[in-house]
Chain A
Amino acid sequence: MRKLRFLLACLLLVGVGLVNAQSKSISGKVFSADDGQPVIGATVKVKGTSLGTITNADGEFKITLQADAKTIVVSYIGMKTLEVEAKNGIVIKLEAETSQLNEVVVTALGISRDKKSLGYSVQEVSGNDVNQVKSDNFITSLSGKISGIQIKNNTNFGGSTNVIIRGSSSLTGNNQALFVVDGVPVDNSNDNNSGQTTGRSGYDYGNAASDINPNDIETVSVLKGAAATALYGSRASHGVVLITTKRGQTTLAKTMTVKLSSNLTVSSVDQSTFPKYQNQYGGGYSQTGYSSAADGSAYPGLEHYADVNGDGVIDYTTPYYEDASRGQKFDANIKVYQWDAFDPKSPNYMKATPWVAGANGPITFFQTGLSTTNNIDISGSDKNSTYRFAYTNFNQTGIMPNSNLSKNNAIFNGSYNITDNLKITTSANYVNTAGKGRPSTGYNDNIMSSFRQWYEVNVDMGMQKKMYQLTGTNATWNRAAWNDGTAAYWDNPYWLRANNYETDGRSRLIGYAQVDWKITKDLKAMSRYAIDTYNELQEEQKAVGSSAGEFGVGRSNVTSGYSRYTSAYAESNFDFMLNYHKAITDKLDFSGILGTNIRRHQKETVYASTNNGLSVPGVYALSNSVDAMLPPEEKLEQIGVNGIYGSVSFGLENTYFLDATLRRDQSSTLPAQNNAYFYPSVTGSYIFSNAIKTDWLSLGKVRLNYAEVGSSAPALSVKDTYSANAPFSGNSLVTVPNTKLNSDLKPERQRALEGGLEMNFFKSRIGFDLALYKNNTIDQLMPVSVSYATGYSSKWVNAGEIENRGVELSFYATPIKTKDFKWDIRVNWSKNQNKVISLFTDEAGNKVTNLEIASLQGGVSINARVGEAYGAITGSDFVYTNGQKTVSSTTGRYLISSTNDHVIGNVTPDWNGGVSNSFTYKNFSLSFLIDVQHGGSIFSLDQWYGSGTGIYAESVGSNDLGNPKRNAIVYNDPTAATTALKIASGYAPTSGGTIYPGVLADGTKNYVRVNNQTYGADGWAVSPDAKFIYDASYVKLREVTITYNLPKELYSKLSLTNATIGIVGSNLWIISKNLPYADPEASQGSGNIQGWQSGVMPATRNVGFTLNLQF
């Protein structure tokens, strides 16, 4: 990959050479002088031209050159460039570069720069680092590989990935990094609706940057700080992920390379991220109260009121309509008419079956997921043109039945030199994605929230499957009553997956046309028009006969429905850039850029749904609505930004570097009087190793920069409008929206200071890059939450300040390097300290100290709170007495704080890090990556409800007296007049119940037992939110890759030039975590609402097999 980067640079900087008709051909071989290994991918060029080739897997090359050409230039990144005489059969030995001074990296606007001259932090990974693991979203593969970027891989099949660079800097806006592919900004929005992001219900449709095909990626370059991104203008204030795609390269003779690769990946549930259930107590909320001795019942946890089989005797039935497991203790001698006894097709029809735990638990519901990736990649060139065509097909089935994701990605790019000084380049990338049966997210209508929160462990999943297969109906365990089979709250999961699902599709075109014109030796011009456009359709269907759930426009509860969301997106960018570069003197180098960027963005969405259910079952069409449709939700967002920018760069003696940039943007989203704004940056670096000549220090560089970046408002936040509701009997109903807009908005600003130190020892055997930064974002554009008594829930303001300070360290070393064996270590570590400094002060001087990002189920909210890191989780806390958790002296439960505004956690982690080790031995290579997050908190709604409903394994077992916890509490004096007196008399040795650690209100150690016989022992409503806050830390074995380059003898007769096979594992093992039964990274999707889990999918372990062939 480096050769390409180099070549790109050559193309840009050197231009295109002349070609004569007369030519000759020579071949040769390139070795490393260091270890004698062949150098693969070294660039071999004819001096004075851009014509060249690269070496193959054996270091061999063959090049055609003009008959009169004398010299070829051989180069490879990290090695000294060598000029040698052009003669056939030449053997070239390249020596290692004494430093990495000549490394070329891609920076803002796609400008390739010498890394040594940069005064800011850029970190690059190769395409190989992100395309080994085949997944639906390459972004997940960046986790742990770059410092300062926090990637959250959620567990939703096809779900969205949260990408935050250097911490959240916008209080309410989009904090996601910008993705730019070959200079074209690529939309990465996540269209999940507010009901989905706040954990109610819906699907995670993923983020749009997942359309980028990892197989097309040559390099990924991450621009972290404002100085690095300043030239991109307002949209890049959260960092940029710059992607350079693969392409062909000019060669004198016509060449063509064909690569084929195939991958098969198998996914299975990581059981450490799924609940372990108790198997001792069955369905119901209480061991008593469903029937009584007066009814002749011996088992008060079972219903005993109906003569089910008509034999004149009252029978036992399950409290089917319940969805907890705090009911009657299992006993195989009790025969109960369970949910499967009422359908004539059931093998248990009219049979009372033993009251025991279900033979097959919810884990059996999951299947093995499979994905295949097939890729063909054809590239080639001749003296004036290059091309690359690639097609990738990705197909994946999930661990839930009836889920499928497929992508077809075709790319073509090519370049043609019209004259020596004029080159045209064009690229078109078409992506078609189709999804079906993505898992539901959130609380409602989600199989996972049933499995994690609301379940009866007497249910046999195998029987659920069988009954669905036998009847084809919603044969749910959660019947409304013994004689009423409609679903109370939960559907048969097999029927649900087969009938209630979403389908989605997006077809997208990303492309550009570019002209590069070398006006003079020093002055070049580039003009490019780029588009990114897609149409997306998301359809959701809910079959007649489903349990009721929030659905469609207005999110009312319905038992069937159909909805469709369409989105038409288009963004165009026109860029024109002049680039001047001149060595003014021997020592002073100057370059300057002057450019303009014209951006036009439009997104139009329509969301429509049936109203109050489907009229005819099975017809999923808007016209099949029971009631007249509600007005569809329509949005049209248009944004225009006109930018001009310039930069100057000076390099003195290849040691001192100074850059300055200035950009002015005019944004349509701001009021006309405030819509133009400037932002500057200044960067400097000093290579101090040039002053101290030693053997061990190969490079030493310090850098420092300051930048300001502005951000404009989202579209339509300036002028107030009204919104219309459905009319009532011909009368129009209009309402004032909940958010007050603001016609005085001005741009948000970020001020960023960054310093860094890069050192490299012993010819790159060991080195590090350290960055320190401090970013303050002020005048935040945000809809600040306000007291509802104002008549609004929020109003747009410019206020507040958020600070991100951090340290990033990238360290690399090659401890062992011999002829056959090499060991490389890479470590990335970053710590970002985020702090909300101020929020909003009103005209009277009152200060808002808390900004609610989201109010979520469980009484918790996610907030920006002054003095805390972004993402403070507030909710009810324990009541502390002398620092101890206080327990109620009557119930034995923890006392709950009277208010819900206690800070009980924070989403923001303390630090993230990754360590990768790779070993190469001859043709084998092995690498593994360990990815770590330390700190951060999660509120688990799953635990909050699941602990209440008594489904988890730890809700049973023995108490401190050695008796079953769920036994009744027995007092020494059961006849005492009040509960308090009974408690005072002490507990009998046979007593059940548990003692929560803590103290009573008087400070003495708690001895009061909690009654576990019924709902109310733990969990929701009876425990503080703080009890369900968990540490989100994890240590994961993120990736393991084993590849083997097949010996050439095996394939040399097949006209193959290279063949490798590989085994790739991802997310194989969560080495350590503190959150029970779930993956700490699981969430409802990307965005600012993190740190809260409800009904999340288990994580999957993925093992893939890859075959790569090159012709």
Chain B
Amino acid sequence: MKKIYLILIVLISAVSGCTDQFADFNTDKKNPANVPGESLFSNAQKELSDYVNNTNVNINIFKLMSQYWTETTYIDETNYDLVTRNISTNIYLRLYLRILTDLKESSKLISATQVVSSQEAVKQNKLEIIELINVYTYTQLVDVFGDVPYSQALDVNNVYPKYDDAATIYKDLFARLDAALAKLDANSESFGSADLYYGGDVASWIKFGNSLKIRMGITVADASDAALHATSKAAVESGSSNCFASNADDCTLKYLTSSPNYNQLYVDLVATGRHDFVAANTIVDAMNSLNDPRLSSYFTQADTSTVAGVVKLAYLGGPFGYLNSFSQSSHIADAIQKPDFPGIMLTYTEVQFYLAEAKERGYNVSNTAEQYYDEGIKSSFAFWGTSGVDAYLATPAVAYTTATGTWKQKIGTQSWIANYTRGLEGYTTWRRLDYPIFNIPSMKTSYSEIPVRFTYPVNEQTLNDVNYKAASAAIGGDLVTTKLFWDKY
């Protein structure tokens, strides 16, 4: 019997001994609890470029919306079906969840890091560069949706962030941009190699900030809000003094050649083996009519012969928003399908066209509209490595003085061509200037059905319904046809 009591005692002590590591069980041993803030910044930069340069039909369809490309078989997106694939939800997911949150956390961690006084300026530069990316990211949201959560965003303790007025957001973004530019110190370093865009070069970031300011200023140039209009003018004018000076200043992410650090375009154009996209007739027809030498940099030729044994190569865009044969249409040029094709964020070419537009809008910038226009086209040729720009500029249909239409048509058409692959920029140019002339896809019946904004994510209807409804009412209805505050015409 005594033995049994002994066993019992052993058993009971075994039970009580089980609690040793109990407290440690719930610690995640596979993921870090502490990381340097810089690694979050690098991640946000990559995520941002991945988003902007994407052409996945679930994520970024702006290369279709801008009618650079069209679809072959599955023509939902070119017919503006934004809901089936939850595209808007994915935009929120990428921008708020993956980019703005990482930027916020990065900023928080870097702020909290104690540094020696000699490193204070470096720390300050890091925080201001983060701020520039924040501003850039918010403009992506506002220019797509209009009012979005802003002042109450990124606070998980407030799960019902209200939507802010888009114009008000823009005003605040201008202020944040100016504040950041004022604090950036070109004599100090910043992120170093952790900055995937400029390798930590602060002078480049200052040019970037000014160029972004010009873009934002031009974007809201038509806003009816008088104060914002004044800000627009001031932003462009102040920005133009130290913006990008050549293609070398372009903001890009130099993608690598292998997964997952290659250009996301490669994923959808090559890696998937799918044949979803071909050149859209909208841009190919426009460029054909101008004999634009950049066609060879933008697209491949298709065999348009209907006679057996005869090959007749030509640039042929598929009718936008119709079923298209992959094999019978021009494809996207091989260079763009390379895995290390750069991720383009903001370019000198783009800025030149904004400045041309600024001049036409009566803003006080140094050169003539024609000079900026020509420089924009020249830098585009240079970017794509295409020759023959002088002859092209001499073409009456291209030359600024003789090209058809108003300045809006001239600048709109040429900047759209020059900014090829820049989906949102092309789409925004069309919305602001109403040029180029787009085509109506097969399942729509009138030009007025082409969306001028995206509807809010479907899950905002359920997760943030009161604010969603308020925002819908404020902008005049959550419809693709509701114009944004800067899209007056």
Query: Do these two chains interact?
Result: yes
B462 at the binding interface (Cβ < 8 Å): yes
Chain B positions 313-334 with a Cβ under 8 Å from a chain A Cβ: 322-323, 325-328
Contacts of B4 in A (CB 8 A): 422, 517
B25 at the binding interface (Cβ < 8 Å): yes
Contacts of A901 in B (CB 8 A): 458, 461-462
Q: Are B43 and A859 in contact (CB under 8 A)?
A: no
Q: Are B445 and A1015 in contact (CB under 8 A)?
A: no
B154 at the binding interface (Cβ < 8 Å): yes
Least Cβ distance of B459 to chain A in Å? Answer: 6
Q: Which of A486, A557, A596, A634 is in CB contact (< 8 Å) with B271?
A: A557
Contact residues of B: prevailing secondary structure: loop
B196 at the binding interface (Cβ < 8 Å): yes
Contacts of B18 in A (CB 8 A): 574, 598, 600, 640, 642
Contact with A along B435-473 (1 / 0, CB 8 A): 000000001010000000000011111111111000000
Interface stretch among A166-174, A787-795, A1026-1034, A1077-1085?
A: A787-795
Interface stretch among A349-357, A732-740, A1036-1044?
A: A732-740
Least Cβ distance of B299 to chain A in Å? Answer: 18
B46 at the binding interface (Cβ < 8 Å): yes
B102 at the binding interface (Cβ < 8 Å): yes
Contact with A along B70-97 (1 / 0, CB 8 A): 0011001001010110100100110011
Contacts of B322 in A (CB 8 A): 289
Instruction: Say whether, besides A627-B258, A721-B32, A791 and B445 are in contact (CB < 8 Å).
Output: no
Q: Are B458 and A790 in contact (CB under 8 A)?
A: no
Interface stretch among A28-36, A272-280, A682-690, A712-720?
A: A712-720
Q: From A489, A611, A840, A858, name the one whose CB has the most chain B CB atoms within 10 angstroms.
A: A489
Q: Are B259 and A556 in contact (CB under 8 A)?
A: yes
B227 at the binding interface (Cβ < 8 Å): no
Task: Considering the complex, give the chain B residue whose CB is closest to the CB of A559.
Answer: B273
Q: Are B259 and A611 in contact (CB under 8 A)?
A: yes
Question: Beyond the given A489-B274, A855-B459, A859-B83, could you list 7 further A-B residue pairs with CB under 8 A, ordered by the A residue number?
Answer: A576-B12, A635-B30, A736-B105, A787-B467, A791-B104, A1020-B84, A1021-B84
Q: How far is the CA of A732 from the CA of B46 in the complex (A)?
A: 11
B117 at the binding interface (Cβ < 8 Å): no
A900 at the binding interface (Cβ < 8 Å): yes
Q: Are A719 and B459 in contact (CB under 8 A)?
A: no
B256 at the binding interface (Cβ < 8 Å): yes
Least Cβ distance of B252 to chain A in Å? Answer: 14
A332 at the binding interface (Cβ < 8 Å): no
A–B pairs, 23, beta carbons within 8 Å: A422-B4, A517-B4, A636-B30, A640-B19, A668-B23, A668-B26, A715-B25, A719-B26, A723-B31, A724-B35, A725-B260, A729-B256, A732-B35, A734-B39, A734-B40, A787-B149, A787-B460, A789-B152, A789-B153, A790-B155, A899-B461, A900-B83, A900-B458
Least Cβ distance of B318 to chain A in Å? Answer: 11
Q: How far is the CA of A310 from the CA of B12 in the complex (A)?
A: 89
Contact with B along A845-887 (1 / 0, CB 8 A): 0101110100100110101000000000010100000000000
Task: Considering the complex, give the chain B residue whose CB is closest to the CB of A290.
Answer: B325
Q: Are B458 and A859 in contact (CB under 8 A)?
A: yes
Contacts of A635 in B (CB 8 A): 30
Q: How far is the CA of A556 from the CA of B8 in the complex (A)?
A: 57
Q: Which of A314, A642, A795, A979 is in CB contact (< 8 Å) with B156?
A: A795
Q: Kindly list the 10 A-B residue pairs having the minimum CB-CB distance in the complex, ordered from nearest.
A: A307-B308, A789-B149, A791-B101, A627-B258, A668-B25, A548-B272, A612-B259, A557-B272, A721-B31, A733-B43
Task: Considering the complex, give the chain B residue whose CB is closest to the CB of A791.
Answer: B101
Chain A-chain B contacts (Cβ-Cβ < 8 Å), number: 301
Q: How far is the CA of A699 from the CA of B49 in the complex (A)?
A: 75
Q: Which of A286, A668, A730, A791 is in CB contact (< 8 Å) with B96?
A: A791
Q: How far is the CA of A364 from the CA of B97 in the complex (A)?
A: 47
Least Cβ distance of A378 to chain B in Å? Answer: 31
Instruction: Say whether, besides A517-B4, A789-B149, A1021-B76, A731 and B459 are in contact (CB < 8 Å).
Output: no
Q: Are A630 and B73 in contact (CB under 8 A)?
A: no
Contacts of B327 in A (CB 8 A): 480-484
Contacts of B46 in A (CB 8 A): 725, 728, 733
Chain A positions 581-609 with a Cβ under 8 Å from a chain B Cβ: 596, 598, 600
Task: Considering the complex, give the chain A residue whose CB is closest to the CB of B258.
Answer: A627
Q: Are B30 and A848 in contact (CB under 8 A)?
A: no
Q: Are A642 and B28 in contact (CB under 8 A)?
A: no
A128 at the binding interface (Cβ < 8 Å): no
Least Cβ distance of A288 to chain B in Å? Answer: 10
Q: Which residues of B contact A (CB under 8 A)?
A: 4, 7-8, 11-12, 14-15, 18-19, 21-23, 25-33, 35-36, 39-40, 42-43, 46-47, 72-73, 76, 79, 81, 83-84, 86, 89, 92-93, 96-98, 100-102, 104-105, 148-149, 152-161, 193-194, 196, 256, 258-261, 267-268, 271-275, 306-309, 322-323, 325-328, 443, 445, 457-467, 478-479
Contacts of B325 in A (CB 8 A): 290, 303, 305, 319
Q: How far is the CA of A735 from the CA of B42 in the complex (A)?
A: 9
Contacts of B463 in A (CB 8 A): 785-787, 848, 850, 852
Instruction: Say whether, besides A314-B306, A787-B149, A791-B156, A1021 and B273 are in contact (CB < 8 Å).
Output: no
Contacts of B194 in A (CB 8 A): 731
Contacts of B72 in A (CB 8 A): 321
Q: How far is the CA of A725 from the CA of B102 in the complex (A)?
A: 13
Contacts of B459 in A (CB 8 A): 785, 787-788, 852, 855, 861
Task: Considering the complex, give the chain B residue whose CB is closest to the CB of A481.
Answer: B327
Least Cβ distance of A613 to chain B in Å? Answer: 8
Q: Are B102 and A788 in contact (CB under 8 A)?
A: no
A669 at the binding interface (Cβ < 8 Å): yes
Q: How far is the CA of A1015 from the CA of B272 in the complex (A)?
A: 24
Least Cβ distance of B61 to chain A in Å? Answer: 14
Q: How far is the CA of A874 from the CA of B11 in the complex (A)?
A: 54
Q: Are A487 and B273 in contact (CB under 8 A)?
A: yes
Q: Are B86 and A786 in contact (CB under 8 A)?
A: no
Q: Are A849 and B465 in contact (CB under 8 A)?
A: yes
Q: How far is the CA of A730 from the CA of B193 in the complex (A)?
A: 9
A298 at the binding interface (Cβ < 8 Å): no
A940 at the binding interface (Cβ < 8 Å): no
Q: Are B156 and A740 in contact (CB under 8 A)?
A: yes
Q: Are A791 and B97 in contact (CB under 8 A)?
A: yes
Q: From A319, A638, A668, A735, name the one whose CB has the most chain B CB atoms within 10 angstroms.
A: A735
Q: From B153, B327, B443, B478, name the one whose CB has the most chain A CB atoms within 10 angstroms.
A: B327
Instruction: Say whether, besides A612-B258, A788-B459, A790-B155, A842 and B104 are in contact (CB < 8 Å).
Output: no
A977 at the binding interface (Cβ < 8 Å): no
Least Cβ distance of B163 to chain A in Å? Answer: 8
Instruction: Say whether, besides A480-B275, A738-B97, A791-B100, A726 and B160 are in contact (CB < 8 Å).
Output: no
Q: Are A724 and B31 in contact (CB under 8 A)?
A: yes
Task: Considering the complex, give the chain A residue whose CB is closest to the CB of B306.
Answer: A295
Q: Are A728 and B196 in contact (CB under 8 A)?
A: yes
Instruction: Say whether, besides A787-B160, A793-B93, A1016-B443, A639 and B25 are in contact (CB < 8 Å).
Output: yes
Q: Which of B23, B443, B478 is in CB contact (< 8 Å) with A672?
A: B23
Contacts of B23 in A (CB 8 A): 668, 672
Task: Considering the complex, give the chain A residue whose CB is closest to the CB of B274.
Answer: A548
Contacts of A313 in B (CB 8 A): 308
Q: Which of A319, A483, A547, A611 is in CB contact (< 8 Å) with B260?
A: A611
Q: Are B92 and A726 in contact (CB under 8 A)?
A: no
Contacts of A840 in B (CB 8 A): 159
Contacts of B268 in A (CB 8 A): 557
Q: How far is the CA of A736 from the CA of B160 in the complex (A)?
A: 20
Instruction: Say whether, besides A289-B322, A859-B86, A863-B462, A787 and B159 are in contact (CB < 8 Å).
Output: yes
Contacts of B40 in A (CB 8 A): 722, 734-736
Contacts of A790 in B (CB 8 A): 96, 153-156, 158-159, 161
Task: Considering the complex, give the chain A residue whose CB is closest to the CB of B464.
Answer: A787
Q: Which of B43, B267, B457 is in CB contact (< 8 Å) with A788?
A: B457
Q: Are B458 and A733 in contact (CB under 8 A)?
A: no
Q: How far is the CA of A855 from the CA of B11 in the complex (A)?
A: 50
Contacts of A876 in B (CB 8 A): 83
Q: From A634, A640, A785, name the one whose CB has the most chain B CB atoms within 10 angstroms.
A: A640
